[in-house]
């Protein structure tokens, strides 16, 4: 009897210990994927290939349940992803149209993501930021780690840093910067929980970005946001990003800024620096017919395409090769930057 009681007590103790360890593990996971620690941006580490190279795809403005050629773009992404043996995918936002997700149970998550990007090569982490359409839904649902139990690829946060041995990529929540969503939202309702008071949110974000970029020792630095800093597309330049974000990127020698928002593909070069502006917003609905090449008075645009498509990036310590593809997987534009020369070729 005594032995049995001792055994039962030990078993109970082991169960309690196991539960405690599980709770501790879950707390670590939630902290890693939900909230920055001590007001700093969350950092995710991703390994490079054995030969110290890296390759990834970039797509934006896609979530339309396969319509508007989303499925066709996804197919070509799978083909190119296999060819390049990609390490991950970057989404530049507007992940679910028209109004984000309603909850973690919203079937749009499967209908627009899981069931569309089915190629084996695309079964890699998807590092994603929010777009303005995502803010029209339940933002916390899209950020919730619960979605990873539905599709483990999904990693979405407001702002965070992806670190590898080659490159630090800074993901920036750009929607709260844009004044018109607050002053003239038209008929749309935005979910500003976690953002308001806006002034404090943006001030903290800029402070954290400055600190992370200043402390970065990475050979390459890229930044990702939904809204364009420079664009000749429908929406054009984003004045608030030029005022508040661009100086931070320039001061910290960021090589490339990548965005979506305009449903097109673009490469615009900096006229007073080395930074390049790349738009990859052709994941589904496009062909608006309102590109503004005549606004390019400084001839800074290297490439403009009013249609669906995506980008690929291949890089090592010495150079980065960037290619733009259309909906049929044809290469429309390619561009190489040498890190030694820090100039586009």
For 46-73, write each residue's pLDDT tens digit. 999 999 999 999 999 999 999 999 999 9
Per-residue pLDDT of the chain (345 residues; tens, 9 = 90+): 333 333 344 344 434 333 333 333 333 333 344 333 344 899 999 999 999 999 999 999 999 999 999 999 999 999 999 999 999 999 999 999 999 999 999 999 999 999 999 999 999 999 999 999 999 999 999 999 999 999 999 999 999 999 999 999 999 999 999 999 999 999 999 999 999 999 999 999 999 999 999 999 999 999 999 999 999 999 999 999 999 999 999 999 999 999 999 999 999 998 878 899 999 999 999 998 999 999 998 889 999 999 999 999 999 999 999 999 999 999 999 999 998 655 444
SS3 140: helix
What is the distance between the alpha carbons of residues 54 and 51, in angstroms, rounded to a whole number?
A: 9
| Contact present, 229 and 268 (Cβ < 8 Å) | no
pTM, full prediction: 0.88
Q: Is 267 annotated as a binding residue?
A: no
User: Can you tell me whether residue 251 is helix, strand or coil?
Assistant: helix
The predicted-structure confidence for 274-317, as pLDDT tens digits, reads as follows 899 999 999 999 998 999 999 998 889 999 999 999 999 999 99
Say if residues 264 and 304 touch (Cβ distance below 8 Å): yes
pLDDT of residue 319: 97
Instruction: Annotate 275-300 with DSSP letters as a single string.
Output: -EEEEE--SSS---S---GGG-TT--
Answer yes or no: is 117 a known binding residue: no
The annotation status of 94 as a binding-site residue, yes or no, is yes
Q: Which residues are catalytic?
A: 235
| 263 is an annotated ligand-binding site residue | yes
Residue owning tokens 């103790």 = 13
Q: Tell me whether residue 262 is annotated as binding.
A: no
Residue-level pLDDT at 33: 42
Q: What helix, strand, coil percent values describe the chain, rounded to 5?
A: 30, 25, 45
pLDDT, residue 6, reads: 34
Question: Given this model, what pLDDT does residue 259 score?
Answer: 98
Domain boundaries, the chain: 1-35, 37-338
The 10 Å Cβ neighbour count of residue 158 is 21
In the prediction, which pLDDT does 341 show?
53
Other beta carbons within 10 angstroms of residue 124's beta carbon come to 18
Is 261 a known ligand-binding residue?
Answer: yes
- What pLDDT was estimated at residue 272? 79
Strands (E), the chain: 42-45, 54-59, 88-91, 126-128, 154-156, 160-163, 167-172, 220-225, 256-259, 265-269, 276-280, 301-305, 309-315, 319-326, 331-338, 343-344
To the question of domain 37-338 being in CATH 3.40.50.1100, the answer is no
Rounded CA gap, 345 and 337, in Å? 6
| pLDDT attached to residue 260 | 98
Cα angle for residues 345, 249, 316 (degrees, 5° grid): 45
240: its two tokens = 């608030």
Q: How far apart are CA 173 and CA 164, in angstroms?
A: 21
């Amino acid at each position: 009897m005594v032995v049995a009681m001792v055994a039962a007590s030990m078993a109970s103790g082991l169960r309690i210990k196991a539960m405690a360890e599980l709770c501790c593990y879950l707390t670590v996971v939630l902290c890693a994927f939900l909230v920055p620690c001590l007001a700093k941006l969350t950092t995710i580490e991703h390994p490079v290939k054995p030969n110290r190279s890296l390759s990834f795809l970039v797509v934006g403005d896609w979530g339309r349940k396969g319509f508007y050629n989303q499925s066709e773009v996804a197919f070509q992404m799978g083909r190119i992803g296999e060819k390049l043996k990609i390490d991950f995918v970057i989404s530049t936002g507007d992940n679910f149209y028209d109004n984000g997700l309603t909850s973690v149970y919203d079937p749009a998550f499967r209908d627009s993501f899981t069931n569309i990007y089915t190629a084996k090569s695309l079964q890699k982490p998807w590092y994603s930021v929010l777009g303005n359409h995502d803010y029209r839904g339940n933002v916390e649902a899209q950020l919730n780690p619960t979605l990873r139990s539905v599709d483990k690829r999904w990693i979405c946060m407001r702002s965070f840093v992806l670190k590898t041995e080659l490159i630090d990529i800074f993901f920036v929540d750009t929607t709260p910067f844009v004044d018109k969503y607050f002053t003239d939202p038209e008929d749309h309702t935005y979910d500003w929980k976690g953002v308001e008071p806006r002034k404090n949110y943006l001030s903290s974000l800029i402070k954290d970005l400055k600190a992370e970029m200043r402390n970065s020792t990475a050979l390459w630095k890229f930044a990702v946001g939904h809204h364009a800093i420079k664009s000749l597309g429908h929406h054009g330049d984003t004045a608030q990003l030029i005022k508040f974000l661009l100086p931070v990127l320039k001061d910290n020698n960021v090589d490339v800024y990548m965005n979506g928002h305009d449903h097109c593909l673009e490469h615009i070069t900096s006229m007073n620096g080395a930074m390049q502006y790349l738009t990859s917003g052709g994941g589904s609905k496009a062909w608006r017919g309102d590109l503004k090449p005549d606004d390019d008075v400084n001839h800074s645009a290297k490439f403009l395409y009013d249609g669906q498509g995506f980008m690929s990036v291949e890089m090592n310590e010495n150079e980065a090769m960037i290619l733009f593809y259309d909906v049929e997987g044809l290469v429309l534009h390619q561009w190489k930057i040498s890190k030694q020369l820090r100039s586009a070729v």
